[in-house]
Amino acid sequence: MPALFQKIFKTGIVTEPLGPDEAEIIQLVRQVDEKSKRLLGRALAIREVDAGSCNGCEIEITGLTGPVYDSERFGIHFVASPRHADMLLVTGPVTRNMEVPLRKTYEATPDPKLVVAVGDCAQTCGVFKGSYAVVGSVDKVIPVNVFVPGCPPEPADILRGILAALDRMPGK
């Protein structure tokens, strides 16, 4: 047990500060801070929906909750139920089997809600385009506020997408 805590204290905080080269993020965070403070009270609950992704995007999203990117410092956290969520983070091309669950998840999310589609597949279906198992992109099934391109997008990009969606959030 002492070894564990020794290690914890030796490592220190590894969350990456928003460096000067990421001026855009800082600016976004500042803008969003103002607006999301008003709309969502600075606490954003996200439900992740895998609509048929290869799980590459999921690994990057998991990175978002880790110590390095630490989305929790912005009050962004992941929840276990769409009913607790303010935002749906959808990945992958929508497969035939996930079409109805995705729509139901959207309906189960209380207003005001946002949808961020993560990854190239969510926008264009990527390599799965034209497959008989795929219905199409996410915006064919539910309304999407922001697309985050990339295969897979980096956690910082996903964070940027989430913040951009907050910024574009319609007023009450």
Q: Return the bridge partners of 136, or none.
A: 94
DSSP per position, 40-59: HTT-EEEEEEESS--SHHHH
Strand order in the sheet with 146-148: 76-78, 44-50, 87-91, 114-118, 146-148
Decide if residue 20 touches other proteins (CB under 8 A): no
Q: Cα–Cα distances in Å, from 22 out to 13, 18, 46, 57, 111?
A: 19, 6, 24, 22, 32
Decide if residue 4 touches other proteins (CB under 8 A): yes
| Biggest alpha carbon–alpha carbon distance for the chain | 56
Q: Would you say 77 or 96 has its CB closer to other proteins? A: 77
Which part of the chain contacts other proteins (CB under 8 A), choosing from 12-20, 23-31, 92-100, 128-136?
12-20
Q: Would you say 110 or 143 has its CB closer to other proteins? A: 110
x/- letters, 132..161, toward other proteins (CB under 8 A): ------------------------------
Give contact residues for other proteins (rule: CB under 8 A).
1, 4-5, 8, 11-15, 37, 40-43, 66-67, 70, 72-73, 75, 77-81, 83-84, 86, 107-112
